[in-house]
């Protein structure tokens, strides 16, 4: 008896059928002359194939698959429990092998991996993620090595696995940044150089504030400039309001702002969320082409960054970071782009969150933004309009909302993947030419940042005065290069260098941004699991031997490896590209 679907089954009377395969990979084995038998036991509870039951007594059943034009013939064997044989006819040439592996394991707990791809992409037969090229062709000078730092030792480039001390970081900082003009600078020294003097009543002012805001003296100091009281440092938006009440005549323009960590209701979702970006998302394994990359000694992508922005005294930090991400991604693609509107991005955030009100509320940043990669996916895909339509320092736009929406479509990022990652993955992402959106707790070190941009490794960010969102655009040893949105007067022209141990203790929320390049066609490079290559697909089009693993909804005999009940993605997630699922049985 013959059939043409490359799989062999054994069915025993009185028993169900147990799926005999682990991973959805089938290796088609040639059936030797004389009809070699392979037995596969399939249990009924694991059975997801739609196939008619064979009646007792060996009644003959016919299986026809119109989409594949493959025939399954069953021969009666007469005796109870006798095996039914399915012989496979090879199409065309003798010895031609199409490999599908079906492991005879039968053990419970064996892992099966199921993958569902949009737009009719074929399922991969090995459980490995598709190996795609994400990095673009970037200039070689963004990737450096240790030879560029003659004062550094090999130990300065060893990964901190939790065993580095603040003294180790201090030594590395000297080796990496010691030649800088402002190395060792402090914020106080910078203010003095700019003509500020510490206010005589500083201690009194801070004491009064401590009654209202615990720990405020860690992040704020009062200075005088031309007989005007000027507090400097950073505070949360709530703390800023308190300072305004206590010091209505003070110049508060030099205070930077962070967003307090608190739960607020989302009108759209009806759920509480942390603000701005402390919300955690499930991490996924890095794609093969990224996970296999060796981390460079140094990566510095600042040449692809747009100018540093200034969010002012608003809660738009994440909106600035994602706007800078769009600008950076387009520049990496070789496009010339104008500055984009961060307030329009903030408006898009609020629309996604369900708390959008008006233009002024968007400019203020409201109560902050949701975390995780999902808003970044939506915002980068939809785009942001030009800043000239809505200046970053203006409460309202210059044009109608429809004009901004139309313009935003000109500045969107295609072929981008954004995913939540762990801190240990950041260097691989950067070495692959990607970058990372980070939300983290702030701390005293943010207010003490000098013009060298080097953050104190001994200061653990408490988050007491809020969280903040920025972009990670490189690293040197165990120092990460961070682009901020507090203007160019802060840190090293708007950038800072945060030690790995500080970032690890800041409860970071990390979203990697990977731009897909053109180094290889999708599915061709490292295509171990795809047993039907592109050439075979063309040659075998219409051939009954070709296995179609997707888009056969009309085929009643189609083997479905997706269990809708176990689908871990809801309907809202369907807009976020290809969905994959791994299920254990």
Would 450 be classed as within a structural domain? yes
Residue 573: both structure tokens together: 């997630």
Q: How far apart (Å, rounded) are the C-alpha atoms in residues 5 and 547?
A: 8
By C-alpha distance, which of 466, 260, 469 is closest to 371? 469
Whether residue 311 is found in the same domain as residue 459: yes
> Does 523 fall in a domain?
no
Distance (Å, whole) CA 388 – CA 480: 32
Judge if 306 and 411 occupy the same domain: yes
DSSP 348: H
E strand residue ranges, 43-93: 62-65, 70-73, 87-88
Angstrom distance (rounded) from CA 560 to CA 550? 9
User: Does the residue 376 lie in any domain?
Assistant: yes
Residues 208 and 269 in one domain: no
Residue 335 belongs to some domain of the structure: yes
Q: Are residues 551 and 436 in the same domain?
A: no
Angle at 438 between CA 513 and CA 452, to 5 degrees: 110
Could you give the number of structural domains in the chain?
3
Q: Which residues of the chain have pLDDT under 70?
A: 1-135, 262-289, 517-585
Q: What's the order of all strands across the beta sheet hosting 228-236?
A: 197-198, 220-225, 228-236, 255-258
What are 220's two structure tokens? 């704020």
Domain boundary among 238, 258, 278: 258
CATH number of the domain that residue 485 is part of: 3.90.70.10
Q: Is 468 found in the same domain as 352? A: yes
Give the residue carrying structure tokens 């960590």: 261
In a domain, 135, yes or no: no
- Say what the pLDDT of residue 44 is: 40
Regarding whether 390 and 344 lie in a shared domain, the answer is: yes
Cis ω before 276 (30° cut-off from 0): yes
Residues 325 and 428 in one domain: yes
> Which structural domain, as residue segments, surrounds residue 1?
1-130+537-585
pLDDT of residue 173: 98
Q: What does the pLDDT read at residue 325? A: 98
**234 and 325 housed in the same domain:** no
Measure the CA–CA gap between 501 and 520, rounded to whole angstroms: 37
Residues 88 and 199 in one domain: no
Q: What is the pLDDT of residue 339?
A: 98
Please report whether residue 532 resides in a domain: no
**What's the pTM value of the predicted model, to 2 decimals?**
0.66
Within-domain flag for 580: yes
Q: 125 and 98: one domain?
A: yes
**Are 234 and 365 within one domain?**
no
In this structure, the answer to whether residues 242 and 175 fall within a common structural domain is: no
Whether 196 maps to a domain, the answer reads yes
Final residue before a domain boundary, out of 515, 546, 562: 515
């Amino acid at each position: 008896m013959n059939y043409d679907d490359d799989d062999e089954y054994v069915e025993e009377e009185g028993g169900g059928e147990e799926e005999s395969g682990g991973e959805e990979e089938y290796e088609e084995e040639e059936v030797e002359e004389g009809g070699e038998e392979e037995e596969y036991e399939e249990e009924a509870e694991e059975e997801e194939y739609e196939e008619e039951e064979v009646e007792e007594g060996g009644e003959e059943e016919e299986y026809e698959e119109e989409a594949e034009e493959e025939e399954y013939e069953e021969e009666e064997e007469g005796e109870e429990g006798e095996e039914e044989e399915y012989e496979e006819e090879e199409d065309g040439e003798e010895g031609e092998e199409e490999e599908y592996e079906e492991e005879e394991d039968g053990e419970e707990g064996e892992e099966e991996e199921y993958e569902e791809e949009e737009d009719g992409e074929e399922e991969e037969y090995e459980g490995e993620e598709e190996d795609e090229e994400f990095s673009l062709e970037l200039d070689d000078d963004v990737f450096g090595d240790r030879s560029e730092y003659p004062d550094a030792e090999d130990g300065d480039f060893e990964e901190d696995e939790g065993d580095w001390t603040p003294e180790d970081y201090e030594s590395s900082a000297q080796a990496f940044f010691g030649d800088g003009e402002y190395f060792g600078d402090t914020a106080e020294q910078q203010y003095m150089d700019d003509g500020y003097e510490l206010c005589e009543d500083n201690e009194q002012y801070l004491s009064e504030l401590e009654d209202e805001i615990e720990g405020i003296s860690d992040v704020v100091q009062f200075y005088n400039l031309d007989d005007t009281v000027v507090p400097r440092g950073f505070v949360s938006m709530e703390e800023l309001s308190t300072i305004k009440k206590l010091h209505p005549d003070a110049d508060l323009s030099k205070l930077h702002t962070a967003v307090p960590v608190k739960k607020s209701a989302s009108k759209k979702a009806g759920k509480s969320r942390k603000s701005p970006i402390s919300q955690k998302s499930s991490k996924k394994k890095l794609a093969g082409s990224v996970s296999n990359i060796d981390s460079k000694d140094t990566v510095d992508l600042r040449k692809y960054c747009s100018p540093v922005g200034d969010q002012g005294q608003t809660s738009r930090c994440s909106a600035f970071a994602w706007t800078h991400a769009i600008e950076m991604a387009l520049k990496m693609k070789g496009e010339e782009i104008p500055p984009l509107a961060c307030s329009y991005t903030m408006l898009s955030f609020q629309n996604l969150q369900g708390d959008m009100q008006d233009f002024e509320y968007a400019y203020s940043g409201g109560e902050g933004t949701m975390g995780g990669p999902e808003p970044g996916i939506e915002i980068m895909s939809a785009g942001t309009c030009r800043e000239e339509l809505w200046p970053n320092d203006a409460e309202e736009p210059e044009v109608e909302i429809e004009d901004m929406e139309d313009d935003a479509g000109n500045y969107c990022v295609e072929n981008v993947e954004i995913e939540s990652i762990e801190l240990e993955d950041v260097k691989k992402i950067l070495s692959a030419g990607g970058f990372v959106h980070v939300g983290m707790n702030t701390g005293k070190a943010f207010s003490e940042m000098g013009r060298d941009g080097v953050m104190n490794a001994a200061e653990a960010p408490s988050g007491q005065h809020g969280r903040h969102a920025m972009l990670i655009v490189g690293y040197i040893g165990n120092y990460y290069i961070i682009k901020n949105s507090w203007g160019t007067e802060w840190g090293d022209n708007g950038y800072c260098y945060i030690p790995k141990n500080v970032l690890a203790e800041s409860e970071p929320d990390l979203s990697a941004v990977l731009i897909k390049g053109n180094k290889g066609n999708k599915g061709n490079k490292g295509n171990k699991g795809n047993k039907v290559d592109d050439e075979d697909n063309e040659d075998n089009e219409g051939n009954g031997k070709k296995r179609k693993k997707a888009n056969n909804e009309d085929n009643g005999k189609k083997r479905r490896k997706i269990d809708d009940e176990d689908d871990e993605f809801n309907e809202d997630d369907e807009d976020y590209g290809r969905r994959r699922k791994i299920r254990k049985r």
